[in-house]
Structure 1
Amino acid sequence: MATISLDSLDLAALLCSRVCHDVISPVGAIVNGLEVLEDDSDTSMREFALDLIQKSARQASARLQFARLAFGAAGSAGASIDLGDAEQVARGLFLDDKVTFSWSSPRLLFPKNRVKLLLNLVMIAITAIPRGGSIAVTVTGDAENCEFTIKAKGMNARIPAHSQELLAGQSETGTVDAHGIQIYYAGMVARASNMNIAFSIEGDEVTIKSASV
């Protein structure tokens, strides 16, 4: 394994690509719905288009709000973010019926980087159950000494490829692409916030644990 060499410009570009990937689908659906409204006078089709636009607009807004906390400089005026705000934006990712979501945590202020790490681990958990299922988030402890446990359960659950290497900032080639950047970034945030990350799998359930060190 080689240490990944990534300058700040490439890191920013890859993270922007990751955010755009999440937002482009609902935005594209909004555009399609607007085109139907312009070109089709059929009442049922117009109702379908309006429903599509409303649903996709909610998804796009939810994903942007999530990205603002998980990747952006939200809350930069202070050093902490309310876990209640983190729960709210996380729930916004699960507006459809593909994944059921639960969250259990104290209502506390946590250091910004630890909240970013928690939200990034939720995103990784989603990729662990490509066919849907359930995700349960549990936060214990306080801002100084805490533990995150994310359980992702579903058919064909699997630990994302090369997760441990990417979390450690390593890969076979010493590079990282848009598919791996999110896990690599989570590793960076974990080190910055003095947290570790461990994956395990049992049957159809993947567990991601992170604790302060």
Structure 2
Amino acid sequence: MSTKAAGPAPEVSALDLAALLCSRVCHDVISPVGAVVNGVEVLEDKDAADMREVALDLIAKSARQASARLQFTRLAFGAAGSVGARLDLGDAEQVVRGMIEDERTRVDWQLPRELLPKNRVKLLLNLVLLATTTIPRGGAIVVNPVGAGDAMGFRLVSTGVSARIPQGIEALIGGATPEGGLDAHVVQPYYAGMLARECAMAVGFVQDGDTVTLTAA
């Protein structure tokens, strides 16, 4: 992914940013929703009666997955309350586990259960998404606090085979844009950078072998 040199964040209209984030949400949920539709079609096919149990299992699994992704994106990208609202880190943990944990990826959540300013929690959720991109083959993500209270920062340590810092991600967080412009594939790290600046926090990556540490403080 080719990006311009990091510098002052370019102007992105509110309409364009909203459209790109909507596209990102749709991308996250379209696959499980499509699987639900496929399962329903199998149930409606009288010639596929032997596939009924498989279809029901597919529908149940995909519906749970779609629900988990919507709950996560509602907090990570949505309004999630009024301006100045505070969000519960316990709720953040719940949506992270529903979205991220599976047979390949485990989350070790070490944050206390308390209320933090909305944008700080939204940043945390977006950092979790960034952490998953550092371990493309799965692994473990440990989420730790840096400091305490309203000034709390976060340290996410991702460990897995073939761990790496995705190319261009640091520039995107810094406010640079790809040569072809922002699209739904890169808007999430760009948005995470916007949240970090809003919270007056700096985001950094360090790699050591199969471990990548992502810090926002």
Scaled to the shorter chain, the TM-score interval is over 0.9
CA distance, structure 2, for counterparts of residue 78 and residue 40 of structure 1: 54
1:56 equivalent in structure 2: 62
Q: Which amino acid aligns with 1:80?
A: R
Structure 1 position 82 matched with structure 2 position 88: yes
TM-score by length of 2: 0.91
CA distance, structure 2, for counterparts of residue 200 and residue 77 of structure 1: 33
CA distance, structure 2, for counterparts of residue 179 and residue 108 of structure 1: 32
CA distance, structure 1, for counterparts of residue 128 and residue 58 of structure 2: 26
* Aligned partners of 1:83 and 1:109 also within 8 Å: yes
TM-score by length of 1: 0.92
1:68 to 71, 74, 88: 74
Q: CA deviation at 1:75?
A: 2.4
SS in 1 for 2:38: helix
* Aligned partners of 1:139 and 1:148 also within 8 Å: yes
How many residues were matched structurally?
Answer: 211
2:212 equivalent in structure 1: 206
Q: CA deviation at 1:113?
A: 0.2
CA distance, structure 2, for counterparts of residue 52 and residue 114 of structure 1: 36
* Aligned partners of 1:5 and 1:175 also within 8 Å: no
* Aligned partners of 1:104 and 1:139 also within 8 Å: yes
CA distance, structure 2, for counterparts of residue 7 and residue 118 of structure 1: 24
1:150 to 131, 151, 156: 156
* Aligned partners of 1:4 and 1:175 also within 8 Å: no
CA distance, structure 2, for counterparts of residue 165 and residue 45 of structure 1: 48
Q: How does 1:18-57 map to 2 (within 5 A)?
A: 18-40=24-46, 44-57=50-63
CA distance, structure 1, for counterparts of residue 45 and residue 24 of structure 2: 33
Q: CA deviation at 1:10?
A: 0.9
2:102 equivalent in structure 1: 96
After superposition, give the CA deviation of every residue in 1:114-133 in whole Å (9 maximum; x if it has no partner): 00000000011111111111
1:125 equivalent in structure 2: 131
* Aligned partners of 1:37 and 1:46 also within 8 Å: yes
SS in 1 for 2:149: coil
Structure 1 position 6 matched with structure 2 position 12: yes
* Aligned partners of 2:106 and 2:139 also within 8 Å: yes
Report which of the two has the higher share of strand.
1
Q: CA deviation at 1:15?
A: 0.6
Moved more, 111-120 or 171-180: 171-180
Q: CA deviation at 1:77?
A: 6.7
Q: Which amino acid aligns with 2:143?
A: V
Moved more, 70-79 or 176-185: 70-79
Q: Which amino acid aligns with 1:173?
A: E
After superposition, give the CA deviation of every residue in 1:6-63 in whole Å (9 maximum; x if it has no partner): 1111111111111111101100110111111111555551111111100110110010
Q: RMSD between aligned alpha carbons? A: 1.8
Unmatched tracts of structure 1, length 5 or more: none
Structure 1 position 195 matched with structure 2 position 201: yes
1:176 equivalent in structure 2: 182
* Aligned partners of 1:169 and 1:187 also within 8 Å: yes
* Aligned partners of 2:101 and 2:107 also within 8 Å: no
SS in 1 for 2:91: helix
